[in-house]
């Protein structure tokens, strides 16, 4: 569904991604793990069109998307839940969700999507009239995911959803992510929390200093010396 | 206490305050959504007034037809303001954008001096009967000005809070990256923001001629006043700019009447400095 090949990305004169190749098959949950600064966020921002690659290609369902602006990429069916959540803090939960579905013209269609988002995150329906900036960290993460789902993406890019959350909330989110994947959503999950990522995903990539250094089925990747030493501490 | 004089000054303050409100609302909108300080906002108002003079006195349109035409034209010109002086420089430092809008303001000012000369031009008012209401003298043209200002501000409020475009505009102002990642076309939002702001600036211009003459030099002092209003309110807070514009217009008139005519011009800036010392983010601003 998503094919990234020989991708090179720079911020100004500093190159951040080197020759990155990642494939996300339809229906799968693929993870990219790596330490802070490995280039995971850069990778996702490039897929979304916020950053432009120097060279390489990004294909979504066979179509090259590396030259499209972000709003065209969302329209094609790629949702992105960014690391900082990037909510609209002075707007209510409901307005944030409305913005996620800004491309929907029919009111009934919007309400169907809203209902579906509230099914995944019942907590948000209790908080519908509250300003997003006043939510707890876990609720903000739920809202960020729900907002991206409102566009009905077929591929969801998740950037460190567990960051800064209590373990019990991370477990809850993990269940929801698995549920979304079971219902047919393809997921590319970027995580520093290797335990969580390897638990959820069938296929994993390991990044270090802007390069993919290991990839394969999660069981295999988990057994590799590199991952055991660096991420699992075994 | 002479109540008639007090009433008259309140009315005069309301007139100036209405102009401040509509002027500062546009200035604040651009900053709030785009984080751009539009130094050309005053000249857009000036251009509104001068173009109205031309389409009424030279071309011969009525005040209302001319005003509508000028506001629509200037709103569309807002698109060019964005594409030529703002958007190309957005990736650079904020200073570069400020300087490019300063450049635009000089081009508009000097161009206008060449076209219209520096002599103030009177514009025929649609009606101008003098009324006396509770001891206060007011003209029908002044009532029109106040009425249109408040209608425009109400319309702006409804657009920003009730329409999808308005909500997308606020969302973009609150979080640009967030807006881009959910597929909002932020380039189009920026175009729309400068279209709205330029339309509001020109509307201020076609209303100013109801209480004073049109002159190429009216933009600069208005810009400085507009900044005082926007800074006291808190940069980018449109609702705050409306409240503060009205308040400063009223109290400025009262200050001129009861404290000092001579220092009246300094009043706004003294208030601005005091507010900045006590509350650097402005009265309604968030840190």
Q: With helix as H, strand as E and coil as C, how does B248-261 read? A: HHHHHHHHHHHCCC
B214: closest CA among B200, B204, B229, B228? B204
A36: closest CA among A191, A157, A185, A169? A191
pLDDT at position A198: 81
Residue of A nearest to B177 (CA): A86
B77 to chain A, minimum CA–CA distance in Å? 25
pLDDT digits 0-9 by tens, A124-177? 999 999 999 999 999 999 999 999 999 999 999 999 998 888 888 888 899 999
Mutation target among A86, A90, A105, A146 for the B interface, most CBs of B within 10 A: A86
Q: Cα separation of B159 and B136, whole Å?
A: 34
Give the contacts of A187 (CB within 8 A, at least 6 positions apart). A28, A29, A30, A155, A156, A158, A177, A180, A181
A148 to chain B, minimum CA–CA distance in Å? 6
A79 to chain B, minimum CA–CA distance in Å? 7
Helical H segments across chain A, by residue range: 40-47, 70-76, 93-100, 107-120, 122-126, 137-149, 167-182, 194-200, 218-223, 225-227
Closest Cβ opposite residue A71 in set B164, B177, B185: B185
Contact A151 B183 (CB under 8 A): yes
Mutation target among B182, B184, B237 for the A interface, most CBs of A within 10 A: B182
- CB contacts of B181 in chain A (<8 Å) are 48, 50, 70, 74, 80, 82, 86, 148
**Across chain B, how many H-helices and E-strands are there?**
11, 2
CB-CB contact of A70 with A103 (8 Å): no
Count of C-beta atoms within a 10 Å radius of residue A50: 17
Contact A102 B182 (CB under 8 A): yes
The tokens 């591929």 sit on which residue? A155
Mutation target among B33, B183, B187, B238 for the A interface, most CBs of A within 10 A: B183
CB-CB contact of B32 with B25 (8 Å): no
Across residues A54-67, what is the average pLDDT? 94
Q: What ipTM does the predicted assembly reach?
A: 0.93
Residue of B nearest to A86 (CA): B178
Residue scoring higher pLDDT (B126 or A186): A186
Helix (H, G, I), strand (E, B) or coil at B118: coil
Q: Does residue A234 have a pLDDT over 60? A: no
b (16+ CB within 10 A) / e for B41-67: bbbbbbbbbbbbbbbbeeeebebeebb
pLDDT at position B192: 97
Contact A90 B174 (CB under 8 A): yes
Give the contacts of B169 (CB within 8 A, at least 6 positions apart). B33, B160, B189, B192, B193
Q: How far are the Cα atoms of A54, B67, B154 from residue B149, in angstroms, in the given order?
A: 50, 14, 9
Q: Cα separation of B146 and B164, whole Å?
A: 28
CB-CB contact of B183 with A78 (8 Å): no
Helix (H, G, I), strand (E, B) or coil at B116: helix
Residue of A nearest to B164 (CA): A102
Per-residue pLDDT of chain B (287 residues; tens, 9 = 90+): 788 889 999 999 999 999 999 999 999 999 999 999 999 999 999 999 999 999 999 999 999 999 999 999 999 999 999 999 999 999 888 899 999 999 999 999 999 999 999 999 999 888 889 998 888 999 999 999 999 999 999 999 999 999 999 999 999 999 999 999 999 999 999 999 999 999 999 999 999 999 999 999 999 999 999 999 999 999 888 999 999 999 999 999 999 889 988 888 889 999 999 999 999 899 988 76
């Amino acid at each position: 569904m998503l094919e990234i090949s020989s991708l090179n990305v720079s911020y100004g004169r500093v190159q951040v991604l080197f020759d990155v190749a990642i494939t996300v098959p339809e229906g799968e949950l693929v993870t990219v793990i790596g330490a802070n600064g490995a280039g995971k966020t850069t990778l996702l921002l490039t897929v979304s069109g916020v950053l432009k690659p120097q060279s390489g290609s990004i294909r979504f369902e066979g179509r090259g998307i590396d030259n499209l602006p972000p709003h065209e990429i969302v329209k094609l069916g790629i949702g992105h839940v960014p690391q900082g959540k990037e909510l609209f803090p002075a707007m209510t939960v409901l307005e944030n969700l409305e913005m996620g579905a800004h491309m929907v013209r029919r009111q009934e269609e919007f309400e169907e999507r809203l209902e579906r988002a509230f099914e995944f995150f019942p907590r948000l329906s209790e908080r519908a009239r509250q300003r997003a900036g006043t939510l707890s960290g876990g609720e903000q993460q739920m809202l960020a995911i729900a907002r991206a789902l409102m566009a009905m993406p077929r591929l969801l890019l998740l950037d460190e959803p567990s960051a800064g959350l209590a373990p019990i909330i991370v477990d809850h989110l993990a269940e929801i992510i698995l549920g979304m994947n079971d219902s047919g959503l393809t997921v590319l999950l970027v995580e520093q929390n290797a335990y969580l990522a390897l638990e959820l995903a069938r296929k994993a990539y390991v990044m270090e200093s802007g390069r993919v250094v290991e990839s394969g089925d999660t069981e295999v990747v988990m057994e590799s010396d590199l991952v055991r030493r660096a991420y699992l501490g075994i | 206490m002479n109540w008639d004089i007090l009433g008259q000054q309140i009315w005069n303050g309301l007139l100036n305050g209405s102009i401040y409100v509509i002027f500062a609302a546009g200035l604040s909108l651009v900053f709030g959504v785009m984080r751009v300080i539009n130094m050309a906002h005053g000249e857009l108002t000036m251009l509104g007034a001068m173009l109205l003079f031309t389409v009424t006195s030279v071309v011969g349109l009525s005040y209302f037809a001319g005003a509508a035409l000028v506001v629509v034209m200037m709103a569309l010109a807002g698109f060019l303001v964005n594409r030529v002086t703002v958007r190309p420089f957005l990736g650079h430092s904020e200073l570069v954008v400020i300087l490019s809008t300063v450049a635009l303001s000089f081009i508009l000012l000097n161009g206008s001096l060449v076209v219209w000369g520096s002599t103030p031009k009177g514009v025929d008012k649609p009606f101008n009967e003098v009324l006396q209401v509770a001891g206060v003298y007011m003209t029908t043209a002044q009532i029109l000005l106040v009425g249109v200002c408040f209608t425009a501000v109400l319309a702006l409020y409804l657009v920003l809070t009730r329409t999808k475009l308005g909500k997308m505009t606020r969302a973009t102002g609150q979080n640009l990256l967030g807006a881009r990642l959910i597929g909002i076309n932020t380039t189009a939002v920026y175009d729309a923001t400068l279209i709205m702001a330029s339309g509001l600036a020109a509307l201020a211009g076609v209303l100013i001629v109801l209480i004073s003459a049109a002159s190429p030099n009216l933009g600069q002092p208005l810009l400085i006043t507009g900044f005082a209003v926007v800074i006291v309110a808190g940069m980018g807070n449109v609702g705050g700019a409306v409240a503060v514009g009205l308040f400063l217009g009223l109290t400025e008139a009262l200050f001129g009447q009861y404290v000092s005519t001579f220092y009246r011009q300094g009043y706004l800036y003294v208030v601005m400095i005091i507010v900045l010392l006590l509350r650097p983010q402005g009265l309604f601003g968030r840190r």
